[in-house]
Chain A
């Protein structure tokens, strides 16, 4: 066997991951993915090991519900054949390995910096010198936007090549939000520090990232969250989806100058995040998810409040959506705008709702279910046009679906379990991976421990890592004035990407 088969949120001894020459590693992983739409690379990363570089590749199989992990040890000055040259979905991973460890990849289509990480191999490369693709043309022009944008949003740079008003090419340059998150996971030793870090990876996906972290930690500690903790995490995850999707519908309306939709969806989000505050004291649910215990167990009083919130929310949400989807002025901006085809989405490894917008079924709740998701018999919402309108419809239908899941869960509230003892040390010499389905899509955390159970490497992958490229491709041949609504319909994370 050239890989070990593990499940989501499982930990295994590092030595159980088969090690092979790079050529075999290359062939094995390419063979797993090529012509297998049900498989994609969830994580491919490197770390230093006694002067060499250890590569670990994790391929998720959505039909078998497992993850195929393999490894290779290469020298620190290795120049390797690029897997991205064969399968584009490895593109970002290889760039990251190149940026951090100076490993060469022959045949890579564009081996450019990813985020100008603090611990990058070549410090002479700095963010103002990013090597954009240029144009040599009298007719075309470039438009640069950012890193500081017009609205209250995070920082990143967009460079358009346009023919008049039409976008021919967009290059998205990120890294401005880099805070050194993965390194801080190793340096900050207290569990509460690491939990706080997980909550701060992307402040709009607190539940998704913190659940991924807590589950990983529990796995590496040999513990498992009790039913009540899983229950609370599931309700919280679906509430986060409702809140952010609703807020995004508001922002999408803003970008097509539809004032009523902007205001109504904006105010509809308020009671949902205010419920988070009633539950755990924070509107974005920071403080709610903890490893080994639940500081805010769900109870009957909270359930009654939540039912009241949802009862008031749902009819107004449905009414506003039905109005939005019959307004010719909004539909003309949404339909056939920012379109991605199925093959494109598959080739670049798109995940989450950005994949589901055109028939690519990527949803960890179904494919690698965790917690109590198996009980919900989740059926992903799928659309088939890949345009802004598909992304609007996914949001609308996922909100309604999440409301129904929460209603279903609220019928039976479990009793809170006792807090568990958290072992001081993690399992030694181990590897673990933890996937959750945040509102954007698949969130991946992974860790490797050393011989005393200390963290040796911590990896975080936000769905935005892949999906930014989908946005860049989606806007080609669109009017540049449609860029804001395209961008908002994806609503990707800058800090989740930059870490």
Chain B
């Protein structure tokens, strides 16, 4: 007993008090800022492993970006990644970062379905489906509930069964072999229910885009309530995105 108390004492305080304002350490690649500098935009776009960069105007699609950092390494005056981790949005268009703009990424309040905030604001239970995720987003979603990030303080939790869930969180580019289990899990979740895509692979296929081993019909045919970019998603990106969706 004494030893247990000693161990507890040695941990000190680990939780992040304000998940809205926390700073991430070091050189996190969060929301990019693109200057109006004139560059060879085709050369810039050609660097990108996932065709995330558009040329006119120059922009980055955060739904495709794997945050590899190559564009900012080779064109440092043009592209700079800030440590702003608030990257989630509720439409694909809102994930486009255009040159010259420094506005934060945010949700469109008009697109949030009304019953979501009414029913889930105090308690949101989520079922995670790894549809060929590489276990990086899975590790980070697990971290959302650990003693550091503790998103359970807002009533947001992952649960074991779709029957207990209010929605599903998909990671991975959705392999053909996972298409049916994903649909079954979704169908087993009672309505009303939400769909969250966590990570670049889930949003666009990421580096796996175009692979014949994928089947992305589920993503194309269903309404997506929240897109959370990242490779993997940072816990703060995920938690802030869900809080915005719920209006917390």
Query: Could you list which residues of chain A lie within 8 angstroms of chain B, going by C-beta atoms?
Result: 116-118, 127-128, 147-148, 150-155, 175-180, 183-184, 188, 190, 192-193, 195-197, 200-204, 206, 247, 260, 263-264, 266-267, 270, 274, 277-284, 286-287, 295, 315-316, 319-320, 323, 493-495, 498
Contact = CB atoms under 8 A, between A and B. Distances in A.
B177 A284 contact: no
B133 A323 contact: no
Interface in B122-146: 128-143, 146
B177 A178 contact: yes
24 contacts: A128-B180, A152-B128, A152-B138, A155-B178, A176-B181, A177-B172, A192-B47, A195-B68, A196-B50, A204-B139, A247-B139, A260-B7, A266-B146, A277-B26, A279-B26, A282-B28, A282-B67, A283-B234, A286-B67, A287-B67, A287-B68, A315-B10, A320-B7, A494-B130
B204 interface: no
A177 B175 contact: yes
A187 to B, nearest CB: 8
Contacts, number: 201
A282 B135 contact: no
Interface string B136-171: 111111110011100000000010110000000000
A197 B73 CA distance: 19
Nearest to A197: B207
A40 B180 CA distance: 38
Interface of B: 3-4, 6-8, 10-11, 14, 24-29, 47-50, 66-70, 73, 81, 128-143, 146-148, 158, 160-161, 172-173, 175-178, 180-182, 184-185, 201, 206-208, 211-214, 231-232, 234
Given A176-B178, A197-B207, A281-B28, A192 B68 contact: yes
A350 B70 CA distance: 38
A188 B207 contact: yes
Given A184-B211, A323-B7, A495-B135, A287 B232 contact: no
A306 B50 CA distance: 33
Contact of A274 (B25, B81, B129, B146): B25
Contact of A179 (B29, B173, B181): B173
Given A155-B178, A200-B206, A274-B25, A180 B139 contact: no
B135 A281 contact: no
A93 to B, nearest CB: 21
Contacts of A264: 7, 11
Contacts of A176: 132, 175, 177-178, 181
Given A118-B176, A282-B67, A495-B134, A190 B211 contact: no
Contacts of A320: 7
Nearest to B180: A128
A283 B135 CA distance: 13
Contact of A155 (B25, B130, B173, B212): B130
A206 B67 contact: no
B25 A153 contact: no
Given A188-B207, A260-B7, A204 B136 contact: yes
Contacts of A280: 27
Contact of B68 (A152, A183, A286, A495): A286
Nearest to B207: A196
A193 B134 contact: no
A298 B73 CA distance: 17
Contact of B4 (A128, A278, A295, A323): A323
B207 A284 contact: no
B148 to A, nearest CB: 5
A15 B23 CA distance: 56
A175 B142 contact: no
A131 to B, nearest CB: 16
A154 B135 contact: yes
Given A155-B178, A175-B177, A494-B130, 13 more contacts: A150-B161, A151-B158, A152-B130, A152-B138, A154-B135, A155-B129, A176-B175, A179-B132, A183-B211, A184-B207, A277-B25, A282-B67, A286-B136
A279 B26 CA distance: 7
B139 A284 contact: yes
Contacts of B173: 179
Nearest to A278: B26
Contacts of B172: 177, 179, 495
B213 A267 contact: no
Contacts of A316: 7, 10-11
A158 to B, nearest CB: 14
